Amino acid sequence: MIGRMKQTLTELIKTFVGGNARFTVEHPTNLEFGDYSTNAGIVSKKSDELLEFLNKNKPEEVERVENKNGFINFYLSKKFFSDSLKEIIKAGDDFGRGESGKGSKVMVEYTDPNPFKEFHIGHLMSNTIGEAVSRIIQWNGAEVKRANYQGDVGMHVAKAVWGMLHEKKDPYVAGEKAYEDDENVKFEIQEINRKIYDKSDENINKLYEDGRKKSLEKFEEIYKRLGTKFDYYFFESETAELGKKIVLDNPGTFVESQGAVVFNAGDHDKSLHTRVFINSEGIPTYEAKELGLAKIKYDKYPYTFSVVITGNEVKDYFRVLLQAMKLVFPDLASKTHHLPHGMLRLPSGKMSSRTGEVITAESMIEEVKGKVKDDENVAIGALKYSILKQGVGGDIVFDINQSVSTEGDSGVYLQYAHARANSLIEKAEAQGVSINTDSQEDSLVREVERFLYRFPEIIPRAMDDFAPNYIATYLIELASSFNNFYAHEQVIGGENSGYKLAIVRAFKTVMKNGLTVLGIPAPERM
- In the chain, the domains with their CATH numbers are 5-76 (3.30.1360.70), 244-301 (no CATH), 397-518 (1.10.730.10)
DSSP 29-85: SSGGG-SEEE-HHHHHT-HHHHHHHHHHH--TTEEEEEEETTEEEEEE-HHHHHHHH
Which residues have a Cβ under 8 Å from the Cβ of 32 and sit 6 or more positions away? none
351: pLDDT strictly greater than 60:
no
pLDDT at residue 437 above 80? yes
Averaged pLDDT for residues 456-467? 97
d(CA 235, CA 148): 8
The pLDDT value recorded for residue 187 is 95
State the helix-helix crossing angle for 455-464 and 468-488, rounded to 10 degrees. 160
Question: Hey, which residues does 64 pair with through a beta bridge?
Answer: 75
Q: Which residues of 295-327 are buried (b: 16+ CB within 10 A; e: fewer)?
A: bbbbeebebebbbbbbbeebeebbbbbbbbbbe
pLDDT at res. 444: 86
> Does the structure show a pLDDT above 70 at 357?
no
**Residue 517 backbone phi and psi in degrees, to 5:** -70, -20
What does the pLDDT average to over 274-289? 94
Tens of pLDDT, residue by residue over 84-128, are: 999 999 999 999 999 999 999 999 999 999 999 999 999 999 999
Q: What is the pLDDT of residues 309-338, one digit of tens each?
A: 999 999 999 999 999 999 999 999 999 999
Torsion of CA 258, 262, 267, 272, to 10 degrees: -110
pLDDT, position 66: 95
Model confidence pLDDT, tens digit, residues 360-403: 999 999 999 999 999 999 999 999 999 999 999 999 989 999 99
Cα separation, 368 vs 364, whole angstroms: 6
State the pLDDT at residue 21: 84
pLDDT at 352 > cutoff 70:
no
Of 15-24, 281-290, 456-465, which one has max mean pLDDT? 456-465
* CA proximity to 322, closest of 267, 370, 265: 265
Q: What is the pLDDT of residue 248?
A: 98
Pairwise CA distance, residues 288 & 241, whole Å: 9
**Polymer length of the chain:** 526
- Check pLDDT > 50 for residue 71: yes
Whether residue 174 is predicted with pLDDT greater than 70 in this model: the reply is: yes
pLDDT exceeds cutoff 60 at 354: no
pLDDT, tens digit (0-9, with 9 covering 90-100), for 504-524? 999 999 999 999 999 999 999
* pLDDT attached to residue 493: 85
Question: φ and ψ at 251, to 5 degrees?
Answer: -65, -20
Confidence label for 441 from pLDDT (cuts 50, 70 and 90) = low
Residue 304 carries which DSSP code?
Answer: S
pTM of the predicted model as reported, rounded to 2 decimal places: 0.94
Round to whole Å and give the CA distance between 412 and 51.
44
Please provide the average confidence, as pLDDT, over all residues in the chain.
Answer: 94
7-49 residue pLDDT tens: 999 999 999 988 788 999 999 999 999 999 999 989 888 889 9
Residues 6+ positions from 349 with CB-CB distance below 8 Å: none
Q: What is the pLDDT of residue 2?
A: 66
What percent of the chain lies above the pLDDT cut of 70? 97
pLDDT for residue 355 is more than 50: no
The rounded percent of the chain whose pLDDT value lies above 90 is 88
Burial class (CB in 10 A: 0-12, 13-18, 19+), 165: middle
